[in-house]
Chains A and B, each alone.
Chain A
Amino acid sequence: MMDQAQFHIRDLHVRFRTQADELHAVKGVSLSVARGETLAIVGESGSGKSQTMLAALGLLASNGVVTGSAMLNGQELIGASEVALDRVRGAKVTMIFQEPMTSLDPLYTIGQQIIAVIRRHRTVSAADAKAEALALLERVRIPDAARRLASYPHEMSGGQRQRVVIAMALANRPDLLVADEPTTALDVTIQSEILALLADLQREMGMAIAFITHDLGIVRRIAKRVAVMRHGEIVESGPVEQVFNAPRHPYTRALLDAEPGGTKEPTPADSPVLLEAQDVRVHYPVKSGFFGRTTQVIKAVDGVSLTLKRGGTIGIVGESGSGKSTLGKAIVKLAPATGMIRLEDRALIPLSRAEMRPLRRSLQMVFQDPYGSLSPRMTVGEIITEGLLVHEPGLTSAARDRRAAEALEEVHLDAALRNRFPHEFSGGQRQRIAIARAMILKPRLVILDEPTSALDRSIQKAIVDLLRDLQRRHGLAYIFISHDLAVVRAMADTILVMKDGQVVEQGESENLIRHPREDYTRRLLAAAMETGFSPC
């Protein structure tokens, strides 16, 4: 029974030659996946988990060098010719990538793309291939499959596109399916549907799956065996129950503990109201035709009201497109809104840009993407102190420099790094810089728009801890926007659930999570629970 495993990687090394030196990305990884089995490869970004699989399939960037061995059904893939690899890839081994938006060609219909994959590897008539494509689409449960064959990728939602990608990957009944974070870019409810689909398909077709992810919840749900990677090495591997219940390596333990825990201390009942919003609407007219007549109105935010006390936190959850980010932007006047938003005694909506400027001090925002929210050509010190240029123009540059150093220390970064540029920092460090930029103005309300979504779990936890600590020390109020219930629960006093621009449910956070009233909230919770979230 020794050779039941159909995919073996033995002592695989990947090195990247860069300008200055050589980067040893994967250091002697060995693993195997048997027929009908799912192996999860877990690790944080940069741990080499994707590079291992890409290297085994000969898909590395041109400056990468692979040594070692990768055997599929007894065929050596490392060092095989491009022609030989092309016969294997797409037929025996297929791959699903993270981004369903970019892994389909926008110029061809779904049908054409699936048929191309089928006919590339097998001699099938066009009509037969089309019938097969239709069957595949039905198999991945795309509704109205016959009509969808003629659709272009942009006509489909992210979840549907990922289903199409899966259909393409399964078109030639592969022996091994490599799934590289296939659900990371999707909403929780869709994520759980896709995972269920993959599990069903595996039962039916019996292929091996190598599932690359950073999300431990997913591992628990889908895999039998798991390999934990760090710094290009497998630090621990074994059956999922064993690794999760009795982790041997300290890093695995740290990963398991990284679920953001704890809750916020409740806000005193007598603290004054800081922000009040009533019936906030953000509507975008869709104009068409020569005269720009408004033919349709997109209601991004449709009549939302909320009240936030000083020192309190409101969590806003919802899937993408629910209008939660737009609501946040409307409050800081980045999106045009109607209705009433009052910060203490000032109504914000009628204010002009200039009138708004002095109030911006007390109203700050931290954005989702720590890579996009820092200007790439400015030093960290300049980025952090830019707000001071506006609000304390009398400050000397020496004083500003001192304030920058203080602000960096407050978010636990080395003040000596303030003359460096953003691209020299990791994602977590950049998010700290973005937080420092907001905090240096001593605001009273900070809007946090998915501040942890682009970060690894262990870093998320540190950022959540930091945010709670800053809140305690400065008596800040937060509006915390996220799709991740675990993080919201750790941060917020009350939770607002949004769908299609409207609030479907709101309430005190523990109460709402334990006793959801609305269907939609229940669905969100159920999906989150399937990937490891526990409401108790």
Chain B
Amino acid sequence: MSEAATHGRSLWADARDRLARNRAAMASLVLISLIALACLFGPFLTGHAYDKVYSDYVKVPASLASQPTEDRIGPALQRTASRLRATIASDTREGNTIRLVLTAPRAIDERSLAFFERSDLFHAAKVLERAEEGKRLTLLVPIERNRFLFGTDGNGRDMLTRTLIAGRVSLAIGLLATFVAILIGVTCGAVSGYLGGRVDTVMMRAVDVLYSLPFIFFVIMLVVFFGRNFVLMFLAVGAVEWLDMARIVRGQTLSLKRREFVQAADVLGVSTPGILRRHIIPNTLGPVVVYTTLLVPKVILLESFLSFLGLGVQEPMTSWGVLISDGARNIQGATYLLIFPAIFLTTTLFCLNFIGDGLRDALDPRDR
């Protein structure tokens, strides 16, 4: 009996091949993987922490150029000098450092030179020469170079880092809440559909009751009772989204349980959990996979909506919804605050929808 048993091609393998030939879906898959990788590893590479406030760079527009720009250096030097109660006698640029000569009516306290370091434009200043009993100082001030590719927000935080961090949160909520919804939905739908009768009636009426709760009201209630936090988001979204899934799976199960292979398993004596696990659930997974790819964007959108209303993620943590809400308030003065998170969000949603479409075609080629 040890002859090499040939391996067949499963329906899943066929579906994978069909999906691989769908250009839009594959491009979307690549793009969304890139977005996910960027959100995961990007924040380590931007050089900024997502909650670091650069008070000198409030609402800097997005640009490729490094900060500070030339027109910012002069005023910043003036401002710092006046804090030291000194005036600038001369400043000469040597590359990325400034040779600065300060004069003052009284001796300048060297400890107050820390104002340079405290500014976001300069590193610590070094004293080259003291003259006239400290009333004339020659300093070497290195300029601190920063890049804000997506600009900074109203608090002077780097938008690139924040967009990527927000992506982490949005994608995590999207995936986890969807996972929760699927787990509950598939189990409930399959059990309710297969057992039928009274169990079905009770379970589906429960679903109907949950359906009739207004979602926003439900979330506000949760927030009022438990305060705002991240876990609550999963609960709220998951508790609502599994209902659709349960109905879809129940419908599938109802038609599957009359199929002859399920009856055949029954005649073999297979137990109810065995039938559900081996025969019902694997055969409902096609529509479930498709619905999942459509559910993820829906959940992301829902989270954005809640965050937009101020019921979602809390500062300094952020999500695409929060950023977009922020950007929408600044749409007149600082469009870039809206544009970048919006591009990320819509690209993600587009990609997921294309993938869902591709999966639908791949899993059910007859229905084209």
* Nearest CB on B from A234, distance (A): 30
Q: How far is the CA of A387 from the CA of B274 in the complex (A)?
A: 11
Decide: A373 and B11 in contact? CB cutoff 8 A: no
List the one stretch of B109-117, B161-169, B241-249, B261-269 in contact with chain A: B261-269
Which residues on B sit within 8 Å (CB–CB) of A368?
260
**Residue B8 interfacial (CB < 8 Å):** yes
* Chain A residues positioned under 8 Å from B3 (CB to CB): 415-416
- CB-contact partner of B5 in A369, A391, A416, under 8 A: A416
Judge whether A244 is part of the interface by a CB distance below 8 angstroms: no
Stretch of A374-382, A492-500, A514-522 with 4 or more beta carbons under 8 angstroms from chain B:
A374-382
CB nearest neighbor in B for A449: B260
Number of A residues whose C-beta is below 8 Å from B? 46
- Whether A364 is near chain B, meaning CB under 8 Å from some CB there, is yes
Is B270 in the interface zone, CB < 8 Å from A? yes
Q: Which residues of B have CB within 8 Å of A376?
A: 11, 261, 283
In B1-38, the 8 Å CB interface with A consists of 1, 3-12, 17-18, 21
Contacting B at CB under 8 A, from A393-421, are: 401-402, 405-406, 415-421
B7 engages A419 (CB within 8 Å):
yes
With A and B bound together, what is the CA distance between A389 and B17 in angstroms? 32
In the bound complex, residues from chain A placing their C-beta under 8 Å from that of B260 are: 367-369, 372-373
The number of chain B residues with a CB under 8 A from chain A is 31
Whether B6 lies near A420 (C-beta < 8 A) is: yes
- Chain A hits for B271, CB < 8 A: 357, 390
User: Are A389's CB and B274's CB within 8 A?
Assistant: yes
Please tell me if A483 contacts chain B, counting CB pairs below 8 Å. no
* Chain B residues, CB < 8 A from A389: 270, 274
With A368-B260, A416-B4 known to touch, is A356 a contact of B9 (CB < 8 Å)?
A: no
Contact check, B7 vs A361: say whether CB atoms are below 8 A apart: no
The answer to whether B1 and A401 have CB atoms under 8 Å apart is: yes
Assess the B261–A373 pair: CB atoms within 8 A: yes
Q: How far apart sit A431 and B21, CA to CA, in the bound complex (Å)? A: 34
Q: Does B205 contact A (CB under 8 A)?
A: no
- Whole-angstrom distance between the alpha carbons of A364 and B267 in the complex? 6
Q: Is the Cβ of A356 less than 8 Å from the Cβ of B269?
A: yes
Known: A361-B269, A402-B1. A421 touches B263 (CB 8 A): no
- Chain B minimum-CB-distance residue to A398: B1
Question: Is residue B74 contacting chain A, with contact meaning CB distance below 8 A?
Answer: no
Residue of chain A at shortest CB distance from B10: A421
Complex contact A417–B6 (CB within 8 A): yes
Inside 8 A of B10's CB, which chain A residues have their CB?
377, 379, 421
User: Is A360 engaged at the interface, CB distance under 8 Å to the other chain?
Assistant: yes
Chain A min CB distance to B129 (Å): 80
Flag whether A346 is at the interface (Cβ < 8 A): no
Known: A367-B263, A375-B283, A416-B3. A423 touches B270 (CB 8 A): no
B259 within 8 A of A: yes
Instruction: Say yes or no: is A107 at the interface (Cβ < 8 Å to chain B).
Output: no
Interface membership of A133, Cβ < 8 A: no
Q: For A391, list chain B residues within 8 Å (CB).
A: 269
B99 close to chain A: CB less than 8 A? no
Question: Which parts of B311-337 form the interface with A (CB within 8 Å)?
Answer: none
**Is B282 engaged at the interface, CB distance under 8 Å to the other chain?**
yes
Using A369-B260, A375-B279, A377-B11 as known contacts, say yes or no to A334 and B267 having CB atoms under 8 A apart. yes
Indicate which residue in B5, B18, B266, B278 contacts A378 across the interface (CB closer than 8 Å): B278
Task: Verify B6–A437 contact, CB threshold 8 A.
Answer: no
A416 touches B6 (CB 8 A): yes
Cα-based distance from A437 to B12 in the complex (angstroms): 23
Contacts of B5 in A (CB 8 A): 381, 405, 415-419
* Complex Cα–Cα for A533 and B303 (A): 70
Tell me if A530 is interfacial: C-beta within 8 Å of chain B: no
Contacts of B8 in A (CB 8 A): 379-380, 417, 419-421, 424
Q: Does A332 contact B (CB under 8 A)?
A: yes
Determine if A167 is an interface residue (Cβ-Cβ < 8 Å): no
Jot down 27 A-B pairs with beta carbons below 8 A, ordered by A.
Answer: A19-B17, A19-B18, A19-B21, A334-B267, A356-B269, A358-B269, A361-B269, A365-B267, A373-B261, A374-B261, A375-B265, A377-B10, A377-B11, A377-B12, A378-B278, A386-B265, A387-B270, A390-B271, A391-B269, A415-B1, A419-B5, A419-B8, A420-B7, A420-B8, A420-B9, A421-B11, A437-B268
Q: Which 6 A-B pairs have the closest CB atoms?
A: A420-B8, A360-B269, A373-B260, A387-B268, A367-B260, A372-B260
